[in-house]
Structure 1
Amino acid sequence: MSKINDDSNDQTTGDSAETESTCFPWQSPSSRSFDDVGGLDSIKEQLERLVVRPLIENREEYARLNVTVPNVLLYGPPGTGKTYLTEALVGEIGYPFVKITPSIVQSRFVNESAERVRDLFTEAREIAEQYGHAVIFIDEVDVVLGSRDIANAHHEDQKVVNEFLTFLEESGQQNVYVVAATNRRERLDEAAVRAGRFDREFHIGIPGAETRREIFRTHLEGRPNTVSDDDLTWCVENTEKWNGAEIAITIDEAARRAVERGGDTIQHEDLVDAIIDQTSERVPSNIPL
């Protein structure tokens, strides 16, 4: 048994999440918000409208008209920020959440995986009763909700899918909200993405130029730096087809290089060196360092 982990100083919307015993790794949300997510403005706006406002800002008005909060599926290539965006969403709404990976649900024992799914949603319902709502984040959801039509689908896997589908339909009525992420949407069971289960889907793709610029800005914010707009333009032009995770790693590497050269700020040369390190390519000679 474990307890709700409350590593931050933030409070949930309900009572403080402190000592309730749980079987799954429930956590109090961190202080991360949409402001910490570079780019993805359209998706953040839609999540604000579909999730944050009904749950937080105008609860009574939405409840009076029986407006439901949809379960959300985020899909796209690895490293594009699906998990980061989910954590920001959880921070915005401020309720206890649990991150579920396939290893937490799957078991080598017959029937046990399906039982763990039931236990998960039973526990989520209890958390929601105590704190108002509960959020389940399912990473790599294609593994636990894979198509039941494939030839080698195992009977136990089919039972897990059936359990998930049943509880997804009932989650909204129990104030349990589900967000899922996958790199392989095509592997999901068709029944999972129909209305009443995952009602809304958002594709998180490789960021374009303006989104990359915002990601650089977001990760530089709060770190002493002398990076100018022209410097950012160079960075954007030399990171085409990079994902958000790669850019974040590059900023960390630039900060590390700044420390190693004895500097107290991140400078353009640190970013240039970090980008070269990531791409193993030479900087064009006509680019001033």
Structure 2
Amino acid sequence: MIKREIALADNNTALLLYGDLNKNLTAIEKGSGVTIQVRGSQLTVSGPKHEVELAASAINKLQELIRSGYPVYPSDVAYALRILQASPKANLKEIFLDKVYITAEQKVVSPKSINQKLYIDSIRNNDIVFGIGPAGTGKTYLAVAMAVSAFVSKQVRSIILARPAVEAGERLGFLPGDLAQKVNPYLRPLHDALNSMLGRGKVADLIEEGSIEIAPLAFMRGRTLSNAFVILDEAQNTTHEQMKMFLTRLGFNSQAVITGDITQIDLPDHRQSGLIEAAKILQNIKGIAFNHFSEVDVVRHHLVQEIILAYAAKETLPPPRRPTPRKH
């Protein structure tokens, strides 16, 4: 057990670091397993050596973020600790201060992990990018943020978001309404992401004028998508034919991001996922980048990370052995 004294830059920095009702300090204690005592702008961090070093590093780097104008919240503390646990020398400013977009509610969209930062940089530097990993890792949300940023800055003229409606299969006919109404529930996550970026009214206007299109993947067939930022979500549910069709739609001055979770494939009859196949076939083509996420990159409720790990452990266990019948 050791103690480390940390002097913060000034009282204002200290107040912002501590957070409302000291919630940021509580998050540091909980996330690193230390005890923190406060005396003005002086902190005393106590605990096992490794944990104290982690907490001290996080405090110093979060202090740098605050002095750069970044508002730190308890969720940021959790992300920072997770990053520093995996990579102690990580530059938090380089990650957190990479502003992808500022939403209609004035929230800054920025990467929250090293893999998210690599993903954003890949989208900036490649025409086709694959984001593969579990739910909650920001694959679709960050892709939509990049699409909106490109559209607002007039780098592209339209945003096209597509999803395979595989979950419905032949059951679409049992849903009420016309075709658009039948498939709309499968496209709702894309609507939600756009609404959070631009505001519901603005999104409705842009859809009405055709600048934003949200449609089932089947609607892409036979088209050439030029001057567009195109996102294919839930790509693990594409077939070989669908993935090939989508990738060959790309026209001039267009960019595509393909996202999916290969642990949640809903294809019938055990058909091979077009996403898994594409990752094998296209790996070495220049201009196509693959980014892989893990439970470390989850940016939802902290229990989501634990749930993913628990399921992964269960699914990799060998099947239980059947008892050998006794001979009578």
The higher-RCO structure (CA 8 Å, 6+ apart) is: 1
TM-score by length of 1: 0.39
Q: Flag the structure with higher strand content.
A: 2
Q: Which has the larger radius of gyration?
A: 2
